[in-house]
Amino acid sequence: MLYLVPTPVGNLEDITLRALRVLKEVHLIACEDTRTSGVLLAHYDIDTPKTSYHDHNERRKAPRLVERMQGGQDVALITDAGSPGISDPGFYLVRECVRHDISVEALPGATAFVPALTASGLPCDRFVFEGFLPQKKGRSSRIASLAEEERTLVFYESPYRLVKALGQFVEAFGAERPAAVARELSKKFEEVRRGTLQELHDHYDAQAKVRGEIVIVVGGAEG
């Protein structure tokens, strides 16, 4: 069986008892980065064998993991933070398991966009999760295609591209569109800043440096 196990996005306490049990019981843990995951596993005294599994080696490693599961072993897939498959490696391995009739069990747990969305103050009954925008090719056209979307929009972004993204949103969605920027979620310096897109752009443009992974929540277009 393949287990998809969410891991904390910041605070190490944000992991379920079930996730800890699974990580202790499986034969192998496939990690996006074994060093990053090693901190979490050591914190909970989990000594299950680890192997790397990330965007750059998944097509080579997936068949090997499938073979192990076909041989009777259980494998857990974890990423550096959050739920596997949500803007992180996971889809390809799941598809291969489904193709080979291997059971897949996805555990509920931590993911960054849900607390950002619910704390934003924007409607969260209907929303569109866009994940990371393309860094270069197709970025502008993707943003433009969302200008008339009436549901709340949710994006992941690097702190290095935050100001650029907000500027592009101002151009495509309008300066007065309500939005929120969430960063360092569940950590000591967690911040959820709300305002118009222009206000948020001007605030972060004036900062010397922005730290932490970013979730941007943008109100939908008025119908």
CA nearest to 86, candidates 69, 109, 119, 63? 109
What single letter denotes the amino acid at residue 119? A
Helix (H) or strand (E) run with residue 199 in it: helix 197-205
Question: For the segment 33-83, what is each residue's pLDDT rounded down to a tens digit?
Answer: 999 999 999 999 999 999 999 999 999 999 999 999 999 999 999 999 999
Using DSSP, state whether 110 is helix, strand or coil.
coil
Q: Where in the chain is the domain with CATH 3.30.950.10?
A: 113-218
Superfamily of domain 2-106 in CATH is: Tetrapyrrole methylase, N-terminal domain (3.40.1010.10)
User: What is the arithmetic mean of pLDDT over 139-146?
Assistant: 96
Top-tier CATH class for 113-218: alpha beta
In this predicted structure, the answer to whether residue 205 has a pLDDT above a threshold of 80 is yes
User: Residues spanned by CATH 3.40.1010.10 within the chain?
Assistant: 2-106
Q: Is the pLDDT of residue 136 over 90?
A: no
- The CA distance from 183 to 167, in Å, is 18
Decide if pLDDT at 141 tops 90.
Answer: yes
Using DSSP, state whether 217 is helix, strand or coil.
strand
This prediction has a pTM of 0.93
